[in-house]
Amino acid sequence: MSIVEGKMASANIKQVAQHAGVSLGTVSNVLNRPDLVSPATRQRVLDSIATLGYVRNDSARQLRAGRSRTVAIVVLDVSNPFFTDVVRGAEAVVEEAGGMLVVCNSGEDADRETRHLDMLEEQRVQGLLITPVSDGRHPRLDAFVAHGIPVVLVDRGSGHPSRCSVAVDDITGGRLAADHLADHGHRRILYVGGPMTIRQVADRHAGAAAALTERADGVRFDVHETPTLSVAAGRQAADDLVALPASRRPTAVFCANDLLALGVLQGLTAHGLRVPHDIALVGYDDIEFAAAAAVPLSSVRQPREQLGRTAAQLLLEESGGSAKHSHRHVVFQPELVIRASSARERKRARS
Ligand code: RIB
Q: pLDDT for 78-118, tens place per residue?
A: 999 999 999 999 999 999 999 999 999 999 999 999 999 99
Res 5 pLDDT > 70: no
Cα–Cα distance for residue pair 139/141, rounded to 1 Å: 5
Site to probe by mutation for ligand 1, drawn from 284, 300, 307 as the one with most ligand atoms within 8 Å of Cβ, is 284
Res 129 pLDDT > 50: yes
User: Cα of 23 to ligand 1 centre, how many Å?
Assistant: 29
pLDDT, one tens digit per residue, over 274-305 is 999 999 999 999 999 999 999 999 999 999 99
Can you tell me which atom of ligand 1 is nearest the CA of 76?
A: 1
| Other beta carbons within 10 Å of 111 | 9
**Residues 168 and 155: beta-carbon distance below 8 Å:** yes
Within the chain, where are the H helices?
Answer: 13-20, 24-32, 39-52, 81-96, 110-122, 139-146, 170-183, 199-215, 231-242, 258-270, 288-292, 304-319
pLDDT, one tens digit per residue, over 328-351 is 999 999 999 999 999 887 765 444
Q: Give me the pLDDT at residue 61, please.
A: 54
Residue 284, SS3? strand
DSSP conformational letter for 346:
P
Can you tell me which atom of ligand 1 is nearest the CA of 155?
A: 1
Among protein residues, the one whose CA lies closest to atom 4 of ligand 1: 200
User: Cα of 233 to ligand 1 centre, how many Å?
Assistant: 14
Cα–Cα distance for residue pair 113/197, rounded to 1 Å: 15
Phi first, then psi: what are they for 9, rounded to 5°? Answer: -80, 165
Among protein residues, the one whose CA lies closest to atom 2 of ligand 1: 200
Instruction: Please report, for the chain, how many H helices and E strands are present, in that order.
Output: 12, 13
Nearest alpha carbon to residue 99 among 307, 313, 303: 313
What the chain holds in terms of domains, given with CATH numbers, is 3-56 (1.10.260.40), 68-169+303-334 (3.40.50.2300), 170-302+336-343 (3.40.50.2300)
| Other beta carbons within 10 Å of 45 | 24
Name every protein residue with a CB atom under 6 angstroms from any ligand 1 atom.
76, 80, 82, 131, 155, 198, 200, 229, 257, 284-285
pLDDT, one tens digit per residue, over 236-261 is 999 999 999 988 999 999 999 999 99
Mean per-residue pLDDT, 15-36: 88
User: Cα of 97 to ligand 1 centre, how many Å?
Assistant: 27
User: Cα of 321 to ligand 1 centre, how many Å?
Assistant: 31
Site to probe by mutation for ligand 1, drawn from 79, 155, 171 as the one with most ligand atoms within 8 Å of Cβ, is 155
**Residues 178 and 221: beta-carbon distance below 8 Å:** yes
- List of residues 6+ apart from 22 with CB closer than 8 A: 41, 44, 45
